[in-house]
Amino acid sequence: MACDVQATSNIISLHFLTMVIPYIAIFSIPIFLLIHCLLFCRRGSSNGKRLPPSPPSIPFFGHLHLIDKPLHAALSRLAARHGPVFSLRLGSRDAVVVSSPELATECFTDNDACFANRPKFPSQMPVNFNGTSLGNANYGPHWRSLRRLATVHLLSSRRVSGAMSGVVAGEVHAMARRLYRAGGVARVQLKRRLFELSIGVLMEAIGGTGMTRPDEADDDTDMSVEAQEYKRVIDELNPLLGAANMWDYLPVLRWFDVFGVRRKILAAVDRRNAFVRRLIDAERRRMDGEDGDGHGESKSLISVDYVNHNRMGDVSSTEQSRDAQESSSRNRHIRRKFRLITAEDVSQLSYLQCIISETLRLYPVLPLLLPHESSMDCNVNGYHISSGTMLLVNVVAIHRDPAIWDEPEKFRPERFEDGKCEGLLVMPFGMGRRKCPGEMLALRTVGLVLGTLIQCFDWERVEGKQIDMTEGVGLSMFKAVPLEAECKPRDTMCDVLQKLF
């Protein structure tokens, strides 16, 4: 009898719970939203301080519903409505967006130390060595040590014009040889070729991998075995980071990693680290086997941090070279003949410099730079910015401001002739103490690559079709449809190209 009563009681309880749970779930949603709003209002309370304007937000997501692609275009539309500085709440992150040269200068001069930190994105922490690399470390003793190493040794003017100059020239000549070997009119995927060149420069600078190039008869690639392996790792990591990007703004999504993205990222990072360790071990063996006192400067730039830091340099020089080639392909009237240039000639080719400057103005590699983060409370344009706020600088909006630039959407290299644009803010490499230290190397590389491609080859559109300049989706400003062009060695340059073999 007691058992029957107990069983009946259990059935009634189960039935009751089955009926009640849906109602609990329904009523818990507004309670959760109310708590969320109260917490956000407390966090965003002005306490009598003037806050930047902000569009209406929705609970939990904030302003994520307003973010469209490409991101810089969406932020430009918001700036047209709310002004050159406004705030956003991107899920769990507070952000402030700056879209004018005056305010960008204020952020990186008056508030340079305040905005010297980098936000920590969970999806990228395994890739950038838990935020300890030069590009991602917070401002402090560790970052200053890395910065000093980069500016004084790795990327100094002496090194860039010395050892690195020969490395870049060697890779440019290897690319020219490959294009010449194709013979006749060849269709070229410039994004692929320029990315291979960037990886080749990095691998040659790090470990001197040129001796492991494949047979010169191979028309497909001139990359070393090491460069090809590193490229495979990068190609594997990039789409995974894009898939995990929403974790950085909606942390709850990390609980639902049903596709195993995090596991795949960690596996790819392990392969990257193992590859770098092999390069380090090979360099140590080489140094141990050398004669001398060992105190001279190594010809190798081997270090895990250098590899990680220069991943952005790979993208930078690749995007700049390709965009400049696209612009010159669409504007054939600007092309001029050059002699076979060297790195020392680049600074003397004034019109080539104008082409590069205009390309960087119109197509900056990072349209929003790398995000900064405030380490303390500060003021921008009279608005209060709280500690821990992410700063986004809309470089595209600054570079294409019609109030500053004449016909800003047009590709006109002539605007940079004779110092006409002196005093106007162009910041493709950033500003302040977090400015990219590889600017000199990137500009010399782009100049040598672009000058060689234009001087040695005739370039035509594929089947005469107009080039599609639609922007792709991602951190860097690349084309949705990779550029293809037809190239043919110039008759006057065939003898010169033949000597490169």
User: Side chain identity at 157, as an amino acid letter?
Assistant: S
Of 61-70, 323-332, 374-383, where does mean pLDDT reach its minimum?
323-332
* pLDDT at residue 82 in the model: 97
pLDDT value at 481 more than 50 = yes
Whole domain around residue 270: which residue ranges? 64-498
Query: Which carries the bigger pLDDT value, residue 290 or residue 182?
Result: 182
- CATH assignment at residue 481: 1.10.630.10
**pTM of this prediction?**
0.81
Biggest alpha carbon–alpha carbon distance for the chain:
107
* pLDDT at residue 358 in the model: 96
* pLDDT at residue 345 in the model: 85
pLDDT value at 308 more than 50 = no
Residue 232's nearest CA partner among 196, 266, 258 is 196
In this prediction, residue 23 has a pLDDT band, given cuts at 50, 70 and 90, of very low
**46-51-54 Cα angle (round to 5):** 115
246 falls within a domain: yes
Of 90-104, 280-294, 473-487, where does mean pLDDT reach its minimum?
280-294
Q: Each residue of 392-441: pLDDT tens digit?
A: 999 999 999 999 999 999 999 999 998 888 889 999 999 999 999 999 99
Q: Is residue 98 helix, strand or coil? A: strand
pLDDT value at 349 more than 80 = yes
* pLDDT at residue 347 in the model: 83
Binding residues for heme: 436
47 falls within a domain: no
Arithmetic mean of pLDDT over the chain: 81
Reduced 3-state DSSP string for 366-385: CCCCCCEECCCCEEECCEEE
Residues in CB range of 318: below 8 A, 6 or more apart: 191, 194, 195, 197, 198
56 falls within a domain: no
CB 309, CB 333: distance < 8 Å: no
Binding residues: 436
Q: Which stretch, 5-9, 159-163, 325-329, 439-443, has highest mean pLDDT?
A: 439-443
Q: Which stretch, 17-21, 345-349, 474-478, has highest mean pLDDT?
A: 345-349
pLDDT value at 314 more than 50 = no
* pLDDT at residue 433 in the model: 95
452 falls within a domain: yes
21 falls within a domain: no
* pLDDT at residue 306 in the model: 42
11 falls within a domain: no
CB 290, CB 208: distance < 8 Å: no
pLDDT value at 369 more than 60 = yes
* pLDDT at residue 331 in the model: 52
In this prediction, residue 322 has a pLDDT band, given cuts at 50, 70 and 90, of low
User: Side chain identity at 61, as an amino acid letter?
Assistant: F
Q: Which stretch, 100-114, 226-240, 269-283, 455-469, has highest mean pLDDT?
A: 100-114
**Percent of residues, the chain, with pLDDT higher than 70:** 76
pLDDT value at 220 more than 80 = no
Task: Round to whole Å and give the CA distance between 233 and 49.
Answer: 48
* pLDDT at residue 89 in the model: 96
In this prediction, residue 326 has a pLDDT band, given cuts at 50, 70 and 90, of low
Q: Domain tally for the chain?
A: 1
Query: Which carries the bigger pLDDT value, residue 146 or residue 217?
Result: 146
Mean pLDDT of 137-147: 95
371 falls within a domain: yes
Q: Is residue 134 helix, strand or coil? A: coil
pLDDT value at 333 more than 50 = no
CB 478, CB 319: distance < 8 Å: yes
Query: Which carries the bigger pLDDT value, residue 213 or residue 277?
Result: 277
Of 167-176, 277-286, 436-445, where does mean pLDDT reach its minimum?
277-286
Mean pLDDT of 193-202: 88
The Cβ of residue 420 has, within 10 Å, a number of other Cβ atoms equal to: 12
pLDDT value at 79 more than 90 = yes
pLDDT value at 144 more than 80 = yes
* pLDDT at residue 218 in the model: 55
Mean pLDDT of 174-188: 86
Query: Which carries the bigger pLDDT value, residue 469 or residue 376?
Result: 376
DSSP state of 471: B
40 falls within a domain: no
* pLDDT at residue 192 in the model: 86
Q: Which stretch, 47-61, 211-225, 316-330, 331-345, has highest mean pLDDT?
A: 47-61
